[in-house]
């Protein structure tokens, strides 16, 4: 199986072509520090060729949901060192996914601070989890230009901290409606300065972040995750093919590790200008290694690799419930079913108690 073949990524050789996708689990403490259970959680899943961490807040301002981890304090960095150490001891490779939620948050989670975004446009038709229950989204505060520069600096420092914590690289979370994705989308960005108004300007924030990440931690250690067809968190694009083709053309100028493409289904009747298959539309445009994501199985993941566009396939829920997923794929063995009630928050149940084959 191609899924089980070793592959070179940057300066690392991955044991197989299966990636553990980033998955928010909300198991950090209120200060954003991960626990010993998190160390075990990642150690259990070290059979993945590459582990991409859950999304990690780059600053206090970046926080959108409670009990999500950070990488901006010494205590947070030291806690992540325990994770990366055990992953490396077991022969694994792990990247940190860097996260700023932007408007996908609530003041009840942010010590009363108003969420920020490119523009004062609230998410409609969804609610956000807070410690006081589900709440309607608030109108975010539009970022000033100086604040944008400060956030880019926060991404740079977070990448430096990630390398100090022992991560092998970093992935910018520019997908699923979070802050970088908000800058890319007309539905969240109606700015008239150099960060909005046309495709080049809407791409600017993401490209400036990627440049500083490369400058901060070196060639082939920075990566990016995009979701060109996702409409989650009220994200929509007038011309996604032109928008993301331009973005990838510019990303081709940078020595990145990979581009992680979420091939998210969408209602075609409401978005007739969207490409039917994001991986095929945009994966062919890049010189970088492509990781494909979104609902792949053993069979569809193998078929995707056979097409030749993607070199790796990332699995989320399947790795959550099957810490030994590559072995199960190898043997074509029955998979554990995920407990969806314990995906976000809670204790060790549904986190580190999924059985291995040997059990």
pTM check: above 0.85:
yes
Considering the candidates 41, 72, 178, 274, report the single residue annotated as catalytic. 178
In the chain, % of residues over pLDDT 90: 97
pLDDT in tens, 114-135: 999 999 999 999 999 998 889 9
Place of tokens 């430096």: 160
Q: Is 318 helix (H, G, I), strand (E, B) or coil?
A: helix
Q: Is residue 6 classed exposed, middle or buried when 0-12, 13-18 and 19+ CB atoms within 10 A define those classes?
A: exposed
What token pair was written down for 312?
Answer: 């790796």
Query: What are the Cα distances from residue 185, in Å, to 121, 203, 209, 275, 287?
Result: 12, 9, 17, 16, 24
pLDDT in tens, 48-59: 999 999 999 999
Average pLDDT (172-178) is 98
| Distance (Å, whole) CA 85 – CA 357 | 25
pLDDT in tens, 233-268: 999 999 999 999 999 999 999 999 999 999 999 988
Is 282 in contact with 245 (CB distance < 8 Å)? Answer: yes
Q: What pLDDT is attached to residue 69?
A: 98
pLDDT of 98 above 60: yes
Q: What pLDDT is attached to residue 52?
A: 98
Structure confidence at residue 358 as a pLDDT band (50, 70, 90): confident
Q: Is 68 helix (H, G, I), strand (E, B) or coil?
A: coil
Average pLDDT, the chain: 97
pLDDT of 359 above 70: no
Distance in Å from the first CA to the final CA of the chain: 25
In the chain, % of residues over pLDDT 70: 100
Catalytic, 178? Answer yes
Q: In this structure, are strands 7-9 and 259-262 parallel, antiparallel, or unpaired?
A: unpaired
Domains along the chain? 2-342 (3.20.20.70)
């Amino acid at each position: 199986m191609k899924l089980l073949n070793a592959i070179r990524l940057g300066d690392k050789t991955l044991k197989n072509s299966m990636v553990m996708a980033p998955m928010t689990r909300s198991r950090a403490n209120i200060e954003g520090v991960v626990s010993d259970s998190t160390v075990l959680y990642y150690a259990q899943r070290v059979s993945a060729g590459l582990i991409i961490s859950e999304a990690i807040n780059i600053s206090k301002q970046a926080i959108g949901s409670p009990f999500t981890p950070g990488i901006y304090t010494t205590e947070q960095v030291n806690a992540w060192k325990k994770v990366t150490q055990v992953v490396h001891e077991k022969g694994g490779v792990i990247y940190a996914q860097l996260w700023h939620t932007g408007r996908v948050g609530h003041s009840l989670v942010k010590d009363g601070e108003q969420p920020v975004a490119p523009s004062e446009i609230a998410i409609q038709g969804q609610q956000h989890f807070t410690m006081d229950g589900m709440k309607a989204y608030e109108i975010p505060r539009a970022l000033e230009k100086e604040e944008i520069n400060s956030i880019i600096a926060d991404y740079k420092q977070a990448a430096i901290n990630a390398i100090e914590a022992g991560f092998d690289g970093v992935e910018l979370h520019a997908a699923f409606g979070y802050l970088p994705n908000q800058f890319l989308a007309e539905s969240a960005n109606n700015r008239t300065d150099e960060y909005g108004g046309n495709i080049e300007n809407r791409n600017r924030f993401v490209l400036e972040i990627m440049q500083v990440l490369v400058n901060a931690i070196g060639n082939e250690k920075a990566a990016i995750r995009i979701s060109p067809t996702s409409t989650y968190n009220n994200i929509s694009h007038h011309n996604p093919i032109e928008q993301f083709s331009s973005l990838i053309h510019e990303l081709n100028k940078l020595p990145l590790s990979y581009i992680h493409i979420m091939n998210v289904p969408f209602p075609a009747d409401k978005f007739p200008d969207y490409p039917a298959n994001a991986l095929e539309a945009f994966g062919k445009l890049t010189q970088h290694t492509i990781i494909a994501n979104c609902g792949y199985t053993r069979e569809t993941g193998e078929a995707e690799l056979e097409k030749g566009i993607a070199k790796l396939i990332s699995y989320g829920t399947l790795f959550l419930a099957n810490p030994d997923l590559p072995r199960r794929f190898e043997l074509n063995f029955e998979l554990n079913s995920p407990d969806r009630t314990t995906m976000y928050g809670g204790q060790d149940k549904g986190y580190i108690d999924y059985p291995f084959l040997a059990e």
